[in-house]
């Protein structure tokens, strides 16, 4: 697996984890401000969500890299699929 492939896999996993984490911990204010949507959150904590999803993306991306480099999936494919 090349470096570019690893980066692409990492970014795909990061985007999935980031979008999953967006609605977590959102508090909607009871006092609505003029000009804002009623569902607008008080604090989004985007910086923390970006960092946490970035750090958590290393685990599955590294696992995928390891499986590809050890050719574990190739053995499974040759035995059970072909």
Give the model's pLDDT for residue 82. Answer: 63
Q: What is the pLDDT of residues 1-33, one digit of tens each?
A: 899 999 999 999 999 999 999 999 888 878 877
The answer to the question of residue 31 being in a domain is no
Tens digit of pLDDT for each residue in 46-67? 999 999 999 999 999 999 999 9
Q: Is residue 35 part of a domain?
A: no
pLDDT value of residue 26: 86
Q: Is residue 73 part of a domain?
A: yes
Enclosing domain of residue 18: 3-25+44-81
End-to-end CA distance of the chain: 23
For residue 35, is pLDDT > 70? yes
pLDDT of residue 28: 81
For the chain, how many structural domains are there in total? 1
C-alpha dist (Å) from residue 45 to 8, 14, 37, 72? 25, 17, 18, 39
- In a domain, residue 37? The reply is no
Is 8 part of any domain?
yes
| CB-neighbour burial class of residue 41 (10 A; exposed 0-12, middle 13-18, buried 19+) | middle
Residue 34 covered by a domain: no
């Amino acid at each position: 697996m090349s470096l570019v492939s690893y980066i692409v896999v990492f970014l795909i996993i990061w985007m999935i984890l980031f979008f999953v984490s967006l609605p977590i911990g959102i508090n909607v204010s009871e006092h609505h401000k003029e000009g804002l949507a009623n569902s607008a959150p008080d604090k989004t904590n985007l910086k923390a969500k970006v960092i946490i999803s970035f750090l958590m993306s290393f685990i599955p991306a590294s696992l995928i890299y390891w499986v590809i480099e050890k050719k574990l999936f190739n053995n499974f494919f040759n035995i059970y699929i072909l």
